Chains A and B, each alone.
Chain A
Amino acid sequence: MKTVILSVGSNRANLDLLSQQLVKEGYETLNAASLEELDKSIQEKKDIALALIDLSGFDQHIWEHCETLRKVKIPFIVISPQRSPLIQKDSMEHGASGLMVKPLGIKELLEYVHTLLGE
């Protein structure tokens, strides 16, 4: 059975690109383009191994959803559009396992994912 990774972001092209890379690496992917879709994914799919949260296009409410992920014990990486101490602080406070700044290096991202999944 393949490991499932949930990608969250408001930009469909970004989600598609993330999925392509993750599928190529052997993962199963789920995409959520809104907070509602994120909630739905968490409720419906219980075996999500990791979430990638692209903050772009979301407001402060995203952190509440990150808290939900923490509660259901889904590790997540926050992807930020810029390097910001405030985002770094919020990410840590809401339980992020890591923070990456766009544009991501594909190789670095996959290495990070492997590490977090203990592979």
Chain B
Amino acid sequence: MARKQAEPEKTDNRVSTGIAGLDEIMNQGFVPQRIYLVRGGPGTGKSTLGLHFLTAGAGEGEKVLFITLGEPEAQVRKNAQRMGFDLKGVSFLDLTPTKELFTESGSYDIFSPAEVERGPITQKIKGEVERLKPARVFLDSATQLRYLSTDAFQFRKQMLALARYLTEEGATVIFCSEGSTDAPDDDLQFLCDGVINLDFGSDGRKISVIKFRGSDFRSGAQSMRLSNRGAEVFPRLVPEAYTREYIAEPIASGVPELDELLHGGLERGTVTIIGGPTGVGKTTLGLQFMKEAAGRGERSVVYTFEEGRQTMLKRCMGINIPVRDMIERKTLSIVQVEPLHYTPDEFANLVRQEVEEKNSRIIMIDSTSGYGLSLGSREMVNHIRALTQYLKNMGITTILISEVETITGDFQATEVGASHLADNIVFLRYLEVTGEMRRVIGVLKKRTSSFEKTLREFEITRYGLKVGEPLTGLRGILSGGITLGNISGDHLE
């Protein structure tokens, strides 16, 4: 099957930021020989971003220079090592104060620092740049240089001159700034060609590009994670940017009666909501399609937000779904998503990796309410809409498990606010027959093909799923109180 993925417009001659997600936001990286400002409070990841930028260059054999005015080189190296950065090829110019400055003989107050230190610091930067001829320079931070200027005008003039000097020497440059209300950096924002904001708030870490001269970029706050692997950026999913050719064929469940009910199965590139009350068999139904897909050698992934992975494994083994074999053969992956561990954008990135790198063909999210709660998303519907649209564009069969709160009573196919996401809605309901609890399955909606309008009995046995013949004598399906009417033609015994 021909596969085609829409990629951002190719932009030549870009300088990678060293962070794949950030490159994606910035239309494949920095425009070379320009000045960029990375601003954010303490601990937001400015230096980490700088390390990615420099090591990416060093890895390509470029000469790169880390100018530090705040954190001593030894400390930067230690932190970098902890995050697994290879600093081989990264040159340092340490302009931090030495410990001797703390003693009386080192401190002075006769002249302002601007008078005393600007000259030597400028000379040291100039000397190192002339010696090294770096392709990339990271200056941490420009806030420190502010103290070496007598006034705002002088600072702007000096920074402009420094920027011009570095870029004319051939470097792509990142300046860091703390950019607080106490130390505003509007002047730096104006003089730099690009501005990247880092933030750490109640919604987690965010990165946003707010200015990028001469280039398109993706605006808005994007998720970012800082870990012992450095920084990762998870751009907000833009479904329109991704597409590939696929045949919109139905995929069968392997249970003939169920496939009859669905007139062939669930089509590729569609979103199906399986709705029903707790314990009725929604997840098992979804897994049945995966079992059949595994037989064709296709890979599926279940993201479980509520049920533990082990519980799911055990349960599946008890109903003849060989999940362990499927996992071993890499035709199934069960991913337990810990509450509040991922942002919606990070989660979308995980799914993208499965689709784009591991060629998964069925994705199941169990469940939509668990997704909303675990990802802490205030815009759950918007995020899941983007994700499902992406999956549709990529020809994935998407299954969303939706638990309705009521076991009996008025008919509710899915939880509130989820139905519009679906191309197909399959519902499972409990039914009481002569004092015994039974289950039925029906199809409420199927956008891409016709479907059977009647319900069928649905059973979960140790041999697997069993779906019965059409039940024609049921009444009160939509009112919620399903009863047997004229039982002629139905097969409930």
Chain A residues close to B by CB (< 8 Å): 9, 11-14, 17-18, 21, 54, 56, 79, 81, 102-106
Contacts and interface: CB of A to CB of B under 8 A. Distances in A.
Interface in B58-117: 104-112, 115-116
A11 B109 CA distance: 9
B67 to A, nearest CB: 24
Contacts of A104: 110-111, 115
Contacts of B107: 11, 13
A103 B110 contact: yes
Contact of A13 (B105, B112, B115): B105
Contact of A103 (B104, B105, B106, B112): B112
Pick the 3 closest A-B CB pairs, nearest first. Answer: A14-B110, A103-B112, A13-B108
- By secondary structure, the A interface counts as mixed
A9 to B, nearest CB: 8
Given A105-B115, A106-B115, A56 B109 contact: yes
A17 B111 contact: yes
Contacts of A106: 111, 115
Nearest to B103: A13
A102 B115 contact: no
Contacts of B112: 103, 105
A12 B109 contact: no
Interface of B: 104-112, 115-116
A80 B112 CA distance: 14
A11 B115 contact: no
Given A103-B115, A105-B115, A79 B110 contact: yes
Contacts of A18: 110
A4 to B, nearest CB: 19
Nearest to A109: B111
B105 A54 contact: no
B105 A102 contact: no
Nearest to B150: A105
B115 A14 contact: no
Contacts of B104: 11-13
Contact of B108 (A11, A79, A105): A11
B110 A17 contact: yes
A13 B111 contact: no
Contacts of A11: 104, 107-110
A33 B108 CA distance: 14
A112 B110 CA distance: 15
Contacts of B106: 13
The CB with the most chain B CB atoms within 10 A, among A12, A103, A106, is that of: A103
A18 B115 CA distance: 12
B216 to A, nearest CB: 47
Contact of B109 (A14, A21, A105): A14
A47 B111 CA distance: 27
A56 B116 CA distance: 19
A21 B111 CA distance: 11
A54 B115 contact: no
A16 B183 CA distance: 32
Given A14-B108, A14-B110, A17-B110, 12 more contacts: A11-B107, A11-B110, A13-B104, A14-B109, A18-B110, A21-B111, A56-B109, A79-B110, A102-B110, A103-B115, A104-B111, A105-B112
B116 A17 contact: yes
Nearest to A103: B112
Contacts of A12: 104-105
A17 B110 CA distance: 8
A88 to B, nearest CB: 19
Contacts of B109: 11, 14, 56, 81, 102-103
13 contacts: A9-B110, A11-B107, A13-B107, A14-B109, A81-B109, A102-B110, A102-B111, A103-B111, A104-B111, A104-B115, A105-B111, A105-B112, A106-B115
A104 B105 CA distance: 19
A105 B154 CA distance: 15
A54 B108 CA distance: 12
Contacts of A81: 109
Nearest to A9: B110
Contacts of A17: 108, 110-111, 116
B107 to A, nearest CB: 6
Contacts of A54: 110
A52 to B, nearest CB: 9
A103 B107 CA distance: 13
B269 to A, nearest CB: 71
A54 B104 CA distance: 15
B277 to A, nearest CB: 76
A12 B116 CA distance: 15
Nearest to B100: A13
Contacts of B108: 11, 13-14, 17
A79 B108 CA distance: 14
